[in-house]
Amino acid sequence: MMRKLFAILSVTLLLTTACEKEDMLPNVQQAIVVEGWIENDDYPVVIVTKSLPVSKDFQNINKLEELLVRWAKVTVSDGTKSVVLTGRYDKMYYPPYVYTTSHLKGEIGKTYQLKVEYYDFLVTAVTTIPAPPVIDNYKVVKCADSDTLFQITACFKDNPREKNYYQFFTKVGTDTNHYIGSYLGSIDDNMISGAVEYPVYRGRTIKEYDSYTPYFSISEKVSVKFAQVDHASFRFWDAFTKSQSLNDNMFFSTSTSLPSNIHGGTGYWCGYGAINTHFVIADYADNTLEKTE
């Protein structure tokens, strides 16, 4: 079901230059692509791939697993303790290979350094884990003119005395552990004040551009991750979701690179102060209900 974000990061230039002539294609060097995160009370997860060279030829995204890096040395440090992560097959992610450990859990307020070593590549990044946001409740409401689609709305309060960046993620089904950045789910608190009601749209994969809906089906089990993030993480996810929006518009290009906190490569290493909430959408079929943490 899931096609990982690395596919989008790796083929961004491919998608935006597909109509160019062969002699106009840039000579882009292959780079290391990192997707990594650590959140409060959970273990770090890192996926390492190689970027897909730009080509005028058709490239099947189902073969992008071939770009997976399985033999990197991946290290995470909290400034006191350093742990080398173990690479392992895990079918709950796509591609099904992650670096992780059970010897280091994320803690609120700590800073975490990431280092990835692979042949001549050296990739580094730093992130922090902010305090989780406080959610009042979620509303699950049937969409107008539909008996099978539902809208989730988050109700929370922003602290005006603090600078906050928020990010929503969604996960649909039980056959994956990976949350996708919610469509338009990045929030700078300059844009909100006090009590907030914010729509939570489902994350969008590269496979869903012809069939995507931002709403949730009555048959689905849905998990929502509501996280506070640092500024670098916000910049990445905000640019990523805006890039998805522009991909629907034939008059705009998404050829610019996404902002990244990865040095020596591309991608993201994000700390999440997060809370997770789970829904069985069918429970809301007959009534408008609220789910309170």
CA distance 168 to 180: 9
Query: Which pLDDT score, from 0 to 100, does residue 9 have?
Result: 47
E strand or H helix at 15: helix 5-16
Question: What ranges make up the beta strands (E) of the chain?
Answer: 32-39, 45-50, 73-77, 82-84, 86-89, 97-100, 111-118, 121-128, 135-142, 149-157, 165-172, 180-188, 195-200, 216-217, 221-229, 266-280, 289-292
pLDDT digits (tens, 9 = 90+) for 252-277: 444 567 899 999 999 999 999 999 99
Q: Which amino acid is at 139?
A: K
With a cut of 80, say whether residue 234 has pLDDT above it.
Answer: yes
Asked which of 15-19, 244-248, 255-259, 265-269 is least confident by mean pLDDT, the reply is 15-19
CA distance 244 to 88: 30
% residues pLDDT > 90 (the chain):
65
Which of 85-89, 173-177, 207-211, 285-289 ranks highest by mean pLDDT?
A: 85-89
Contact call for residues 46 and 23 (beta carbons, < 8 A)? no
Dihedral sign for Cα atoms in the order 64, 67, 73, 74? negative
What backbone phi and psi angles, to 5 degrees, belong to 254? Answer: -120, 40
Asked which of 15-19, 62-66, 155-159 is least confident by mean pLDDT, the reply is 15-19
> Tokens 């946001």 identify what position?
133
pLDDT digits (tens, 9 = 90+) for 71-115: 999 999 999 999 999 999 999 998 889 999 999 999 999 999 999
Number of C-beta neighbours around residue 145 at 10 A? 6
- Asked, as a colleague might, if the bond just before 95 is cis with ω within 30 of 0, I would say yes
Q: pTM of this prediction? A: 0.85
